[in-house]
């Protein structure tokens, strides 16, 4: 998968250093993968939550942070749509971001 844009993750972990390793691990797993469905992803990330037809939410650092991606299985693309604290996540519409 191609992840657009890693810099979003980096900028976040520079402000919240306690999640750097977990976000890097997530990134390394995803860029090596060739997911064809949400079920494929679920095998690696059991706690992920699917939102609609193209969004996924991941709990980061024991649910202290949230990561939302938009995914295109056909094009093998993952777009970082949001990374933030749990409180920030509660104030957005995760299905539309």
67 within 8 A of 23, measured Cβ to Cβ: yes
pLDDT 10s per residue in the chain (97 long)? 999 999 999 999 999 999 999 999 999 999 999 999 999 999 999 999 999 999 999 999 999 999 999 999 999 999 999 999 999 999 999 988 9
As a whole number of angstroms, the distance between CA 25 and CA 48 comes to: 15
The residue among 39, 14, 22, 27 whose CA lies nearest residue 80 is 27
Q: What is the DSSP letter of 35?
A: -
As a whole number of angstroms, the distance between CA 83 and CA 97 comes to: 11
Instruction: Name which CATH class applies to 2-90.
Output: alpha beta
């Amino acid at each position: 998968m191609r992840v657009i844009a890693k810099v979003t993750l980096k900028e976040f972990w520079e402000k919240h250093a306690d999640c750097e390793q977990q976000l890097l691990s997530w990134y390394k797993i995803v860029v090596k993968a060739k997911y064809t469905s949400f079920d494929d992803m679920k095998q690696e990330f059991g706690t992920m939550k699917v939102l609609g037809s193209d969004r996924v939410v991941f709990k980061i650092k024991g649910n202290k942070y949230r990561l939302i991606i938009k995914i295109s299985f056909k094009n093998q693309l993952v777009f970082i749509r949001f990374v933030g604290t749990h409180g920030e996540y509660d104030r957005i519409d995760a299905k539309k971001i």
